[in-house]
Amino acid sequence: MALLPILEYPDERLRIVARPVEIFDAALHRQIADMFETMYAAPGIGLAATQVDYHRQLIVIDVSEEKDRPLVLINPNIVEKEGSQTCQEGCLSVPTVFADVERAERVVVEFLDREGKAQRIDASGLLAVCIQHELDHLAGKVFVDYLSPLKRQLVKRKLDKRRRQQAA
């Protein structure tokens, strides 16, 4: 297994729209294992393939306290949405930045598991937020896109400054 480099906003590669996974082979399983390792090490509760410059519809999630409930969503599709909730979100591609985003309170998502078998989850609360956030990544969207242009400028400046400090 290996830690994968995570793309940082405003990297243009975060805008690439992911294509469906078609082949369920050892290479895919290695990619999934590497993404889990990268997510747990960060640490984070979700990681979309887009964020590690792999442009297929693949997401790994674990919102459990004990980090023992790994969830793999392949070619996911939200088929039902209900209610609304506002949660303070962060993102491994937008380090040190947190902001409120409004999302559906409950989503039903259909997807394939790592063996290519069709699955369905009815999620609410944090898991629902996480699923919606990660699905956005596969569509080339980042959570700061929901902020005002002014706030987005502040985010870019903060990240520029952080990168300069790290380089120094």
Interatomic CA distance for residues 78 and 81, integer angstroms: 7
Work out how close the CB of 90 gets to Ni ion at its nearest, in angstroms, rounded to a whole number: 8
CB atoms within 10 A of CB 151: 13
Instruction: Tell me the window of 91-99, 105-113, 120-128, 160-168 that interacts with Ni ion (CB under 5 A).
Output: 91-99
Say whether 134 is catalytic.
Answer: yes
Cβ-based nearer residue to Ni ion, 78 or 116: 78
Instruction: Tell me the window of 3-11, 55-63, 90-98, 116-124 that interacts with Ni ion (CB under 5 A).
Output: 90-98
Catalytic residue among 22, 37, 115, 134: 134
Residue nearest to Ni ion (CB): 91
Residue pair 46/1 in contact by the 8 Å Cβ criterion: no
Terminal CA-to-CA distance of the chain, rounded, Å? 31
Residue for token digits 């409004």? 102
- Tell me the C-alpha to C-alpha distance, in Å, between residue 156 and each of 66, 95, 114, 144: 33, 11, 36, 10
Q: Is 138 in the site for Ni ion (CB under 5 A)?
A: no
Work out how close the CB of 70 gets to Ni ion at its nearest, in angstroms, rounded to a whole number: 17
Peptide bond into 43 cis (omega under 30): yes
Of the candidate residues 14, 28, 91, 155, the single one contacting Ni ion (CB under 5 A): 91
| Residues forming the active site | 134
Residues forming contacts to Ni ion in the complex (CB under 5 A) are: 91
